[in-house]
Structure 1
Amino acid sequence: MDRVVTLLAPGGIEQLQVSEQTPQDPGATEIRIRHDAVGMNFLDIYHRRGLYPLPAYPAVLGVEGSGVVEAVGREVTDLKAGDRVVYAGAPVGAYAATRLLPAARAIRLPDSVPSQVAAASMLKGLTAYMLLTKTYRIEPGTTVLVHAAAGGLGSILVPWAKHLGATVIGTVSSEEKAELAHAYGADHLIVGRDADVVGAVKTVTDNRGVDVAYDGIGGGMLAKSIRAVRPLGVVATIGQAGGPIPPVSVDELRPGKWLTHPSIMAYITDTASYLAAAEAVVAMLASGIAATIAREYALEEAALAQQFLEEGRAAGSLILVP
């Protein structure tokens, strides 16, 4: 019997229940994967709270993982038992020792990429690819603002932006996290939850503002991000770890700033987009640009891990190990 973590209903971590399940036989176009590791994301928190409702309850959370193919459906020809794979995106259901997965979502892992690193990095890497190449194409000389630059996404977004030639301004909540963000390659850091983000950005950019800001904090930070962007620049709001976002007046976007709310889950629903992005991410992982794993938890400790993530204490990514 395998362990699985089930969300009984939207709510707090007390709604997460550990139970046993029998490994299932894959359908014609499915595989069964035995997880080496399961990646954790703030999206899991949104799903648990019901901010992004799931189709039905009880449900199994988790949108990324890595491991070994254990069984394949009769129509699956490009994968076999024993292959190492990673995946991200829908269908949700990674908080389990084994799971069924559409074979089209499975991406082969090169031997040089450890399973734990892949599980911690895949969705964040896909998000970074979307933000850096589709939301606003980063080129040499681009100046970017990355909030939570020492977080799970920041650990990939910052070095990948630097790889593309950008100047990176990062925000962090503490000196400890500033050291991490600096190690990731951030050129300038704004430290402290109450720091004058707009003033610091204006100083660094000679009052011009950044070309693009990536804001996963939400709350009152989005208004600051908008003010920190140059005219005709872009603000991408990608989460609200710091709380709900108050209404934004159209006047805040003067003179001609662009506000966008890209969704990585929507972007990678398209199979061609997913495969192209995944190929780029795996190449980045093989080159050494990957998420930093802050902590590992046993699968049975999923509730404890979610609490730690939700409190904003994680400097890096968290993974569950079945």
Structure 2
Amino acid sequence: MAGRLLVAGLLLSVIGAGSAISDDGSQFVDLWEGNAPGESERSHGTPLPQRPDENPPATRITAITAPTLERFDSDPETKNGASVVILPGGGYRYCVVDKEGSEIAQWFNKLGVTAFVLRYRTIRESDRDRNEAWRRPVQDTQRAVRWVRSHSKEFGLDPNRIGVIGFSAGGNAAAITVGSKSSHYTDGDEIDQASCVPDFAMLIYPWNLVRDETLELIPEIEIDSQTPPTILVHAHDDHSTSLSSIAFYAELKRNDVPAELHIYETGGHGYGMRPVAGSVVETWPARVEDWLRNRGLLAQSP
């Protein structure tokens, strides 16, 4: 897995704007033509050393200033027209691109859903205001939703069935995206004429949705009756407190937005779809599949 990612990264570095195909058939594309908003350089990032205590290991990419989408197509016989943009976690310092990226994409493909793993821009040590760490990833998420919507006909997708799923910090970015009333960057090209609001959302152990020691949502999240339907998954023993998901769900309930909330007693944080000893938290994909199916999101496009 790491080798595949490194090869694709090298291809992207060589070709610059454009696309590169990895050895498993997934395709990388640059999210922005030219520099992303506020950037003066273009880097697809650097893999961090793998952690010796992880089995299997996870791949973490840091120092990203040129975000990319990696497209995973489902089998043509099962493809149903739905799509999802996947936002890995990593505390905004890096993107965990396999455990919370490609592994999730391959699961969605089995459901007939086309998946796009977003390698959003990561925070830099020179960034002084860490309260603004969300801004670049949210800009990239909004752009990604618009990019998929703009290319929906090309990829045989339904422009009205585009979702987002975010893990940890990626869940924070996804939550701000679904709770935003407008774009967080200045619209530019034709792609930016498409809506940046996803049609549904899945927040998996989302991080930092509430103010410290309160249940008040952070000010960047604005929920109303037009907020997309959302499912949330958390663990009771997560150090990134499940109260965050409870507060988000409560606001969805107050605004009569269709929603589900699942809290497992154990599981901790950062598991992706991998098993956790002494827990059944790895069964959350079945809850999400049920929710997607009940909402008609796994049905074939007309």
TM surpasses 0.5:
no
Which of the pair has the greater relative contact order for Cα pairs under 8 Å at 6+ separation?
1
**Greater CA radius of gyration, 1 or 2?**
1
Q: TM-score, normalised by structure 1?
A: 0.30
Taking structure 2 as the reference length, the TM-score comes to: 0.32
Higher strand fraction (1 or 2): 1
